[in-house]
Amino acid sequence: MKHKKGIHFEVSERKVLLRIIDILMVFIGIYTLGLFTKFEYLSVNQENSVALGLLIIYISVFGTVFELYDLQKASQLDATFRNIVITCSTVVLFYLLTPVLSPYLPEERIQILFFYLALIISIFIWRVIYIYLIESPRFYKRVLLVAEVSNIEGLVKALDTKDPNYKIVGFINSETTSDHSVKYKGLKEFEPKQFLEIIQKERISEVLVASFNAEAIIVEVYHDLMLLMERGFKIREYTQVYEEMLQRVPIQFVGKDFYKYFPYSRSNENKLYIFFQRAFDIVLAIIGLLFCIILLPFILLGNIIGNKGPLFYSQERVGRNGKLFKILKLRTMVVNAEKDGVKWTQKNDKRITAFGKFLRNTRLDEIPQFYNVLKGEMSVIGPRPERPFFVKELSRIIPFYETRHIIKPGLTGWAQVKSRYGSTVEESLIKLQYDLYYIKHRSVFLDLSITIKTLSTILYYRGQ
């Protein structure tokens, strides 16, 4: 069997492609501007290597902050154009404010406008090409699922919503079936005997195996999987794809061999990483507390008008290794908000005051927790600390829930920048998946990514 593989781009490849071509197009735009106008502010040559390097850094950083490399938004022309304009506006502003590294302001100020428009137009031209070429069906990754019927719905729903280029075209039931077997109607089912034929007919790029019990895979399907593997065809296990695409650990699919899925990051035992993380925590905590003091008069005024009660409140939370500590926050709810008992905070919760909503959306309510960071009870980045009552309840329902306590809780974390507030058991499960992903892949680069994404959360007013 000869299989002609289609051309497709992985998620990481598309993100790298977007970044590289963005920079390349900006350089082409600036160079072209110099050819057809008397543009002298910035030239693409070796003498301007520092200024060009600074431009690359600004585009990369602010492009990340303003979601220019979010693949979902990159596939939508209107969202892309908006993000390009915001990113380029910020880049030009910061570029003009760093004249030591960037070129000095030109005598003809109109050149700044030319520079600004060159950035927007050059990136936008490339993004239009990306949407109508790379995002077209010809570059889709076409996937065939080999799975037990009971697993299919959850997997299809999760993977289809994450990457528009990842198309599951159908599935083959890996178990023995009968006339009374449960059927899944949400995806086309192929017969096991059609396995090899479907690979060619549907131009399949990858086979995804999603079976809790490999021993239950019927002989015919297992034989064809072995044959495909021997011929170099790409076969992957569902937990690998799930974790790679969704960036969270699929604990709901983990069984008795759970230890295979938690080879935790070496950074958790790396003394150098821990030292620099603690130093970073202390520096940021001091800056954060100084920032809190500066804002305090305005916060006090807002509290008097919109909160009408105590400014601060403390609450018991579960820290590292299950140790309890008192967290300090700005009050965002009415006084005695839990007089009827402990309950989840819901979206548009009536207990949240008008000023409290502003504090939550901007994350300003979390600023006093820099005091907990300074004391060493928390870190800047880590799983959010939860209340003992909810930890006890969730630990009974969600497997491995208390595993998130093996590191210090944080002010912000992977779950906070990737998901919404956990107000249900299902949402708490998703948050746990993200927390475990962070613990598993913890690194300087992931910490930097969380820091930048937290800025996006604040700027886009998405705090909970």
Question: For residue 457, what pLDDT is reported?
Answer: 77
Please say whether the beta carbons of 404 and 383 come within 8 A: yes
Tokens of 463: 């705090």
pLDDT at 5 (0 to 100): 55
What is the residue type of 104? Answer: Y
Question: Per the domain annotation, does 6 fall within a domain?
Answer: no
* 127 plus 147 within the same structural domain: no
Pair 310, 402 in one domain: yes
For 428, other C-beta atoms within 10 Å of its C-beta total 22
Whether residue 432 sits in one domain with residue 373: yes
Torsion angle of alpha carbons 175, 180, 182, 187, nearest 10°?
A: 80
Q: What is the dihedral of CA 221, 225, 227, 233, to 10 degrees?
A: 140
Angle at CA of residue 307, ends 301 and 310, nearest 5°: 85
| 38 domain-assigned | yes
What integer pLDDT is reported at residue 249 of this predicted model? 87
- Within a domain: residue 258? no
Q: What is the pLDDT of residue 182?
A: 62
At 277 the pLDDT is 93
The pLDDT score that the predictor gives to residue 337 is 77
The amino acid present at 324, given as its one-letter code, is L
Question: Do the beta carbons of residue 31 and residue 122 sit within 8 Å?
Answer: no
For residue 351, give the nearest of 342, 360, 338 by alpha carbon. 338
183 and 158 in a single domain? The answer is yes
Same domain, yes or no, for 75 and 153?
no
From 218, 246, 274, give the residue that closes a domain: 246
Q: Is residue 65 part of a domain?
A: yes
According to DSSP, the residues that pair with 168 across neighbouring strands are: 143
Same domain, 351 and 382: yes
* Residue 3 lies inside a defined structural domain of this protein: no
Total count of domains within the chain: 3
The answer to whether residue 68 sits within a structural domain is: yes
The answer to whether 118 and 59 are in contact (CB under 8 A) is: no
Cα gap 56→20, rounded to integer Å: 10
Same domain, 306 and 448: yes
Measure Cα distances from 158 to 219, 243, 255 in Å.
29, 11, 19
Provide, for the chain, the percentages of residues in helix, strand and coil under a 3-state DSSP scheme, each rounded to the nearest 5.
60, 10, 30
**Does 73 reside within a domain?**
yes
pLDDT in the model for residue 179: 57
CATH code of 193's domain: 3.40.50.10700
> Are both 124 and 144 inside the same structural domain?
no
Question: Backbone dihedral region of 341: left (phi > 0), alpha (psi from -120 to 50 degrees) or beta?
Answer: left
Crossing angle of helices 444-459/49-65, nearest 10°? 70
Residue that terminates a domain, selected from 134, 160, 189: 134
pLDDT of residue 257: 65
State the pLDDT at residue 37.
86
What is the token pair recorded at 210? 């999603």
- Judge whether 253 lies within some domain: no
Q: For the stretch 299-324, what's the b/e string if a residue is b when 16 or more beta carbons lie within 10 angstroms of its beta carbon?
A: beebbeeebeeeeebeeebbbbeeee
Q: Note whether 449 and 339 are same-domain residues.
A: yes
Do 439 and 311 belong to one domain? yes
Same-domain check for residues 303 and 440: yes
> Based on the number of CB atoms within 10 Å of its own CB, is 406 exposed (0-12), middle (13-18) or buried (19 or more)?
middle
Assess whether 331 and 364 both reside in one domain. Answer: yes
Name the residue among 275, 268, 281, 279 with its Cα closest to residue 380: 281
Cα–Cα distance, 92 to 115 (Å, whole number): 8
What's the rounded Cα separation, in Å, for the pair 11 and 146? 22
Angstrom distance (rounded) from CA 95 to CA 52: 10
pLDDT of 18 reads 94
What would the two tokens of residue 299 be?
A: 């916060």
CA distance 119 to 23: 9
Contact 340, 363 (CB under 8 A): no
Final residue in a domain of this structure, among 105, 134, 163? 134
The interaxial angle of helices 354-361 and 271-306, nearest 10 deg, is 160
Domain span at residue 290 reads: 266-459
Neighbours of 235 (CB within 10 A): 15
- Weakly modelled stretches of the chain, pLDDT under 70: 1-8, 137, 161, 177-182, 213, 253, 255-261, 263, 421-423, 460-464
Do 444 and 360 touch, CB atoms closer than 8 A?
A: no
